[in-house]
Amino acid sequence: MTRDRQPPAPPPSARAVDDGTAGPFPEAGDRPLCGPSGEPDFAAIQASPEFARLRRRLRLFVFPMTALFLCWYLTFALFSAYGNEFMRRKVTGEINVGTLFGLAQFLTTITIVVTYARFAKKRLDPQTDRIHELVRADAEAGRK
């Protein structure tokens, strides 16, 4: 069983193909992703480069986005509490800055929802599927 995988970081670990146990360099991330009886080896998966990529992608999207919308929302809340002068300024007819600011929160929220859904579908789901495949392949190899 050989598997195509992007070359892991050197040094290449001494991976024994038929040996189901963890290799001598667990941190190298190139040991079988399943134990001898086919159950997933979580530490190995966690150390694998594919998983690291998934985690990085997720965190790079989710954490900045959370910070962004929280700041944007808190700006709105702080202005509502302390920026009365600004918020009551009329923009058109009876509609003032405060009302528009609130409605803008509606728009940004739904935009982030849609953006994340598309991002997850395009960038996260395929990567998750890939990890599932690798684990499945190793489970089959382990049984042989």
Partner 1 sequence: MKVLIAAGTTGSPALNVSIFVVFVCITLFVVYRASGSSPTASDYYAAGSGFSGMQNGIALSGDFLSAASFLGISGAIAVHGYDGFLYSVGWLVAWLIALLLIGERLRNTGRFTVGDVMAFRMKQRPVRAAAANATLVITFFYMLAQMAGAGGLIALLLNVHSKGGQALVITGVGVVMVFYVLVGGMKGTTWVQIIKATLLLLCVTFISVFILGKFGFSLSGLLEKAAQNSPLGERLLEPGGWYGRNAMTKLDFVSLSLSLVLGIASLPHVLMRFYTVPNAKEARRSVVWCSWSMFTFYLGILIVGYSATALVGSEKILNAPGGENSAAPLLAFRIGGTVLLGVVSAVAFATILAVVAGLTLAASASFAHDVYANVLRHGKADPRSEIRVARLTAIVVGFLAIIGGIVANGQNVAFLVSLALALAASANLSTMLYSLYWKRFNTTGTLWSIYGGLVSGLVLIAFSPAISGSPTSIVQGVDFHWFPLTNPGIVSIPLSFLCGYLGTVLSKHPADPDKQAEMEVRALTGIGAKL
- Name the site residues for partner 1 (rule: CB under 8 A): 40, 42-43, 45-46, 51, 54-55, 58-59, 62, 65-66, 69-70, 73-74, 76-84, 87-88, 92-96, 98-99, 102, 105-106, 109-110, 112-114, 116-117, 120, 125, 128, 131-132, 135
Shortest CA distance to 112 belongs to which of 71, 79, 80? 71
Q: Rounded CA gap, 83 and 98, in Å?
A: 9
Q: Rounded CA gap, 102 and 113, in Å?
A: 17
Whether the Cβ atoms of residue 72 and residue 108 lie closer than 8 Å to each other: yes
How near is the Cβ of 80 to partner 1 at its closest, in Å? 4
Per 3-state DSSP, what percentage of the chain is helix, strand, and coil (rounded to 5)? 65, 5, 30
How near is the Cβ of 125 to partner 1 at its closest, in Å? 7
Which of 9/82 has CB closer to partner 1?
Answer: 82
Which of 6/18 has CB closer to partner 1?
Answer: 6
Which of 13/76 has CB closer to partner 1?
Answer: 76
How near is the Cβ of 128 to partner 1 at its closest, in Å? 5
Q: Rounded CA gap, 100 and 106, in Å?
A: 10
Which of 21/66 has CB closer to partner 1?
Answer: 66
How near is the Cβ of 24 to partner 1 at its closest, in Å? 18
**Torsion on CA atoms 28, 31, 35, 41, rounded to nearest 10:** 40
How near is the Cβ of 144 to partner 1 at its closest, in Å? 21
Length of the chain: 144
Which of 58/137 has CB closer to partner 1?
Answer: 58
Task: Record the tokens describing residue 62, joined without a space.
Answer: 């989710």
